[in-house]
Structure 1
Amino acid sequence: MSVKAFAAKLFAKRIHAKTQKWANNPVETQQKVFQELIKEAAQTQFGKDHDFGAIKNHSDFIQKVPVRDYEGLKYYVDKVVKGEENVLWKGKPLYFAKTSGTTSGAKYIPLTKESMPFHIQAARNAILSYIQETGKADFVSGKMIFLQGSPILEEKNGIKLGRLSGIVAHFVPKYLQKNRMPSWETNCIEDWETKVNAIVEETIEENMTVISGIPSWVQMYFEKLKEKTNKPVGEIFKNFNLFIYGGVNYEPYRAKFENLIGRKVDSIELFPASEGFFAYQDSQKDKGMLLLLNSGIFYEFIKADEFFTENPKRYTIGEVELGVNYVLIISTNAGLWAYNIGDTIQFTSLKPYRVIVSGRIKHYISAFGEHVIGKEVESALKEAMEGTDVSVNEFTVAPQITPKEGLPYHEWFIEFENEPENLEDFALKIDTAMRKQNVYYDDLIVGHVLRTLVITSVPKNGFQDYMKSIGKLGGQNKLPRLSNDRKIAQFFEIKE
């Protein structure tokens, strides 16, 4: 064992003890975070406008601070972007994480000197949790790659801005700098395909032990490696044994990855976003990711099926239940208040509090009242693939409300690596799995409102072509699993 690996084990033990302390006192930990946030922001413009001085508890907070999304908070964000101080949080932000909004163009998410360290610590602690549980630490002596956006930053009124992953690249700890790949120059390449080709050239002869990124874009990297060498990735990188990912569910990609790698590797799931780093997988044995209750974020939860009703109940950590689909609401030390990030989660454990990401509150299908969410379509596809040699590169689902003939249906656009012999039989398998999970969908099938789902095969690299067409190829961009309209579907419709 190298000195570096030995030191990593000692560090992991220390961080594990600290984590257990707050994880075993969840309600008290969140209450402390809540009080500190309110106190620190009381003299900001937002704090004064919402009478933070009079907020003593969560009930007061509910009365004075409504749930908002970016559009609802934009009045204040615009002031911060213009360079005003003490608006949402004390002083000015260190950075803006710039993301693409669907209705307001670019979104500017503030990152402050109080919030920024938690983004770095959470990623580090995820790896340390893995070391603590498994005892595996030799990988820290090898090379690690983080597929991410460009670290080149712009500036707006004295505040630097860029993609979150690009900002984080400026905070890589010194002890990782020598191990980290790709080079700074390669990381700065904007065009994703050019960048991946350059990464292949830089890494192909290296001792890669850890690879990290959104699965769909890591898959592209793996495919180019295999294409260049005609070898599985696990043979090219003999010591590669840890894949770290976030942003999307890994399960639809797992079979494909294991085929590309040539063997199984351990994986760690992360739940980061521009608005905060919310959770990471702390165990290889237990389902879900540890919700980070001590990271400057106060969480509220609204049941997804009540979210669009008037004044839905806002739950705190001590009130949540297992298996319920919740919309995640956050208040943070970056100045986001009762903020809806758009993600839905479910708790898999209450001791400690672990979650899975079940989808997006805006990414669903309910064209007929079926309330289908991302977790359901991913689970149904996985169940249909079990025991077969079918493998899938990517997929998305949309409703077909006005078919040329017959009943409406859900249309699944699937890019297969290995296509099933009979698409209709495979569609029926997925449909059966969907009906078991979603009673509303089952009722619509039984009641002859909908017919069995239809699969449309997407040509190889079809989804990459789609993402390229909308300017979102690579980086941290993700294909929506579900749409309640046909905007994505229209790209793949065959022109007669």
Structure 2
Amino acid sequence: MGLKSWFSKLFAKRVVQKMYDDAAMAVQHQEQILSYLVDKGVKTEFGRDHHFHAIKSHTDFTQKIPVRDYEGLRNYFDRVVKGETSVLWPGQPVYLSKTSGTTSGAKYIPITKESIPEHISAARNALLSYINNTGNAAFVDGKMIFLQGSPVLDNSKAIPTGRLSGIVAHHVPGYLQKNRMPSFEVNCIEDWETKVDAIVEETLKEDMRLISGIPAWVQMYFEKLIEKTGKKTVAEIFPNFSLLVYGGVNFEPYAARFRELIGKEMPTVELFPASEGFFAFQDRQDDTGLLLNTNAGMYYEFVPQEELDKPHPKTLSLSEVELNVNYALVISSNAGLWRYNIGDLVKFTSLSPFKIRVTGRIKHYTSAFGEHVIAEEVEGALSETLKKDVAAVTEFTLAPQITPESGLPYHEWFIEFNREPKDWNVFIENLDTALQNKNPYYRDLIEGKVLSPLKITLVEKDGFQEFMKKRGKLGGQNKIPRLANDRKIADELKAWSVKTIASSNF
């Protein structure tokens, strides 16, 4: 055992104990954070516009400030981008995190001197939780790679601007700098394919022990490693590789392919970071729930999914939530976000401590016929089906086919397989049945002959990568939308589609 790993175990024990003490005080901390945020907000333009001086309770807070998304707050964000001070938070942000919006184009999320440490400490605590939970700390004695956006910041605006992962790269603790890869020079490469090729070259001979990133781009890195070396698995290339850290999407659909690429089962840690805040992380290997970060300068509210379309949706505080209910996550924070709907749906898997899992994006769903299928359901259906089959999936998305050339409308799954099913009829029937079991409205539409069972359109090898490249969203924190309620993505993917397959048994 190296000195770093020995010390990290002692450090982990102390930090994790404090973390669980905080978790036990979650409701009290949330009340304190709300009071702190309002006191700070009084000194801002937003606070004056919303009469913060009269807010004395959670009820006052909810009555004076509506729940809004980026578009609803855009006039304030635009003023921050121009360099105005004390618009959303006292003073100016230290950074603006540039992120892609579903409907808003580029979004610029403020990161303040108060909020940036919370991003760093949450990532640290996730790794320390793993060490404390498992006793495995050997990865800190070797190299660690974080596949992320470029750390180069745009200083042409009033406030330095960049991708969140690139901003965070400037704040990696000193004790990790010597272990961290890729090098700053390689990390600054903008073109993602060129960057991954350079990372492969740079890491081939290194003692890589922890690898982190969005699964689709980690998979791309693994495949290029194997192609370059001629080895069969990543474990042959990096025999001490012992921990995979990921976030942004559900890992289950990728799991089979990753087992093949790595050559063995690999412990994983799931994170839930975003430009708006680092919300949660997996703290135990025997529990896939993500521990909610409740003492980190963020005040949480939760909107039941059925309330989302109402002009004045009901919102719940942390003390009011229930298990296994889909909620839209709304935050107010020390970055100057006020009752901000981040666009994610979550479910609570535990109330003591508070743990969640991400079930989808609010704007990513398929409901052309009233079925309202969400990411949790399609990802779960595909994962269950893959476990019954020898198939392996590289990437997928789903869209409604409302006007087929013949027959009834249907759900069209665009799937890039690394290994195709042995029996298409069985695979399609299992997948459709699994989705029906998860979504009774979809089942009713199938049984009522409103929809025909799903069809699969095969996407050629690397088709999804080419699709994202054409969109200018290859790599970094960009993710493939799992679902759509229109044909925009589907129509673009036709350029890389091979054929459409339906079960002959239906």
TM-score for the superposition, normalised by structure 1: 0.99
Q: Is the 8 A contact 2:390 2:422 kept in 1?
A: no
Q: Is the 8 A contact 2:82 2:158 kept in 1?
A: no
C-alpha distance in structure 1 between counterparts of 2:197 and 2:284, whole Å: 34
Q: Is the 8 A contact 2:421 2:427 kept in 1?
A: yes
Q: Residue 450 of structure 2 corresponds to which residue in structure 1?
A: 449
C-alpha distance in structure 2 between counterparts of 1:102 and 1:261, whole Å: 33
Q: Residue 104 of structure 2 corresponds to which residue in structure 1?
A: 104
Q: How does 1:15-30 map to 2 (within 5 A)?
A: 15-30=15-30
Q: How does 1:157-172 map to 2 (within 5 A)?
A: 157-172=157-172
C-alpha distance in structure 2 between counterparts of 1:332 and 1:326, whole Å: 18
2:33 maps to amino acid: V
Q: Residue 415 of structure 2 corresponds to which residue in structure 1?
A: 414
Q: Is the 8 A contact 2:150 2:187 kept in 1?
A: yes
1:41 deviates by 1.3
Q: Is the 8 A contact 2:81 2:158 kept in 1?
A: no
1:157 deviates by 4.0
Partner SS, residue 348 of structure 1: strand
Q: Residue 322 of structure 1 corresponds to which residue in structure 2?
A: 323
Q: How does 1:190-339 map to 2 (within 5 A)?
A: 190-231=190-231, 232-339=233-340
C-alpha distance in structure 2 between counterparts of 1:102 and 1:249, whole Å: 19
C-alpha distance in structure 1 between counterparts of 2:72 and 2:56, whole Å: 24
Q: Percent identity?
A: 62
C-alpha distance in structure 1 between counterparts of 2:422 and 2:76, whole Å: 55
2:154 maps to amino acid: E
Question: Are 1:439 and 2:432 matched, yes or no?
Answer: no
C-alpha distance in structure 2 between counterparts of 1:440 and 1:312, whole Å: 23
1:173 maps to amino acid: P
Question: Are 1:42 and 2:62 matched, yes or no?
Answer: no
Q: Residue 135 of structure 2 corresponds to which residue in structure 1?
A: 135
Q: Residue 348 of structure 2 corresponds to which residue in structure 1?
A: 347
Partner SS, residue 291 of structure 2: strand
C-alpha distance in structure 1 between counterparts of 2:253 and 2:387, whole Å: 11
Q: How does 1:347-496 map to 2 (within 5 A)?
A: 347-493=348-494
C-alpha distance in structure 2 between counterparts of 1:101 and 1:156, whole Å: 21
Partner SS, residue 155 of structure 2: strand
Q: Residue 504 of structure 2 corresponds to which residue in structure 1?
A: none
Q: Is the 8 A contact 1:427 1:454 kept in 2?
A: yes
What do the CA deviations read for 1:404-439 (whole angstroms, capped 9, x no partner)? 111110000000011012323211111100111111
Q: Residue 186 of structure 1 corresponds to which residue in structure 2?
A: 186
1:99 maps to amino acid: T
1:156 deviates by 4.3
1:395 maps to amino acid: F
Q: Is the 8 A contact 2:389 2:427 kept in 1?
A: no
What do the CA deviations read for 1:160-186 (whole angstroms, capped 9, x no partner)? 000000000100111001000011100
Partner SS, residue 195 of structure 1: helix
Q: Is the 8 A contact 1:344 1:357 kept in 2?
A: yes
C-alpha distance in structure 2 between counterparts of 1:216 and 1:394, whole Å: 8
2:379 maps to amino acid: E
C-alpha distance in structure 1 between counterparts of 2:81 and 2:263, whole Å: 48
C-alpha distance in structure 2 between counterparts of 1:476 and 1:19, whole Å: 27
Aligned length: 496
C-alpha distance in structure 1 between counterparts of 2:491 and 2:388, whole Å: 32
In structure 1, runs of 5+ residues without a counterpart are none
2:115 maps to amino acid: S
C-alpha distance in structure 2 between counterparts of 1:393 and 1:104, whole Å: 29
C-alpha distance in structure 1 between counterparts of 2:150 and 2:483, whole Å: 28
C-alpha distance in structure 2 between counterparts of 1:492 and 1:467, whole Å: 10
Partner SS, residue 288 of structure 1: strand
Q: Is the 8 A contact 1:423 1:455 kept in 2?
A: no
1:386 deviates by 1.2
What do the CA deviations read for 1:38-67 (whole angstroms, capped 9, x no partner)? 111111010111111111111111110000
Q: Is the 8 A contact 1:424 1:454 kept in 2?
A: no
Q: How does 1:112-123 map to 2 (within 5 A)?
A: 112-123=112-123
What do the CA deviations read for 1:242-286 (whole angstroms, capped 9, x no partner)? 000001111111110010000011000000000100000001011
Partner SS, residue 329 of structure 2: strand
Partner SS, residue 287 of structure 1: strand
Partner SS, residue 221 of structure 1: helix
C-alpha distance in structure 2 between counterparts of 1:136 and 1:104, whole Å: 43
In structure 2, runs of 5+ residues without a counterpart are 500-506
1:240 deviates by 0.3
Q: Is the 8 A contact 1:152 1:166 kept in 2?
A: yes
C-alpha distance in structure 2 between counterparts of 1:157 and 1:45, whole Å: 21
Moved more, 148-157 or 370-379: 148-157
Q: Residue 502 of structure 2 corresponds to which residue in structure 1?
A: none
- Cα RMSD (Å): 1.1
C-alpha distance in structure 2 between counterparts of 1:403 and 1:321, whole Å: 41
Q: Is the 8 A contact 2:391 2:422 kept in 1?
A: no
C-alpha distance in structure 1 between counterparts of 2:371 and 2:87, whole Å: 41
2:134 maps to amino acid: T
